[in-house]
Amino acid sequence: MPRRYDPDRRQRIIDAAIRVAGRDGIAGLSHRSVAAEADVPLGSTTYHFATLDDLLVAALCQATEGFAGVLDDSGLLRAADGDLAAGLARVLGQWLDGDRPGVELEYELYLAALRRPALRPVAARWTEETAERLTARVDPVTARALLALMDGICLQVLLTGGSYDEEYARAALARLIP
C-alpha cells in the first residue's frame, strides 16, 4: 500500500500533544495518547518524535509563542515612550485573561524543564528571547529583572487561583524601571 502524503501530520501531532498535555497534564502525555488525539497511527508519533522528550520540546517551542505574541501584538516595545510598567501590566493581564488553559500549559511545560533536561534549552531560549524583546525599552539587566518579576506574578496567580491585579503588577514593575 503506498504511503499517504500528509505534509501536516507532524504539526497535527504537536497540536495533539498540546491538547493532551492541556487536558491531562504532562503526566498524561504518551506517544499512544497523542496518536489517538491526532488520529494518526502510533508509528507516526515515534517517526516524527523518537522520544517523549522530543515531543515535549516541540510542544514547548510552540506553546511559548503565546506571551511573545501578545507582547509583540501590543506594540508596547516599539514605542519609544509611554508608561512601560503600565503597558507590561496590561499585556500580562491580556495574556492571563486570554487562553487561560494555554497559559497554564505554557508554564507547566516551562517548569517541566526542572526534571527534563531536554527542555532546558527551549526554556532558556524563551527567557533570552523575551528579555531581548524588552531591551528595546530598558537595559539588559533590567529586562531580565522585569521578566523574572512577570514570571513570578504569573506563577502566583496560576498557582493560587487568585485573580490578576493589574495595578499591583504596574506598581511592582515600575519599581524596577529606571
Whether residues 92 and 148 share a domain: the answer is yes
Cα separation, 65 vs 148, whole angstroms: 17
The C-alpha cell 527551549 sits at: 122
Residue 146, domain CATH: 1.10.357.10
In a domain, 3, yes or no: no
Instruction: Concatenate the DSSP letters of all residues of 103-127 into one string.
Output: HHHHHHHHHHTTT-GGGHHHHHHHH
The confidence score (pLDDT) of residue 34 equals: 95
Q: How many independent structural domains does the chain possess? A: 2
Q: Where are the alpha helices (DSSP H) in the chain?
A: 9-24, 31-38, 42-48, 52-63, 65-74, 84-97, 100-112, 120-134, 140-160, 166-174
The confidence score (pLDDT) of residue 2 equals: 47
Residue 56, domain CATH: 1.10.10.60
Cα separation, 153 vs 157, whole angstroms: 6
Whether residues 55 and 68 share a domain: the answer is no
Per-residue pLDDT of the chain (178 residues; tens, 9 = 90+): 445 677 899 999 999 999 998 899 888 999 999 999 999 999 999 999 999 999 988 988 887 777 888 888 899 988 888 899 999 999 999 999 887 888 888 888 888 889 999 989 988 998 999 999 999 999 999 999 999 999 999 999 999 988 999 999 999 999 999 8
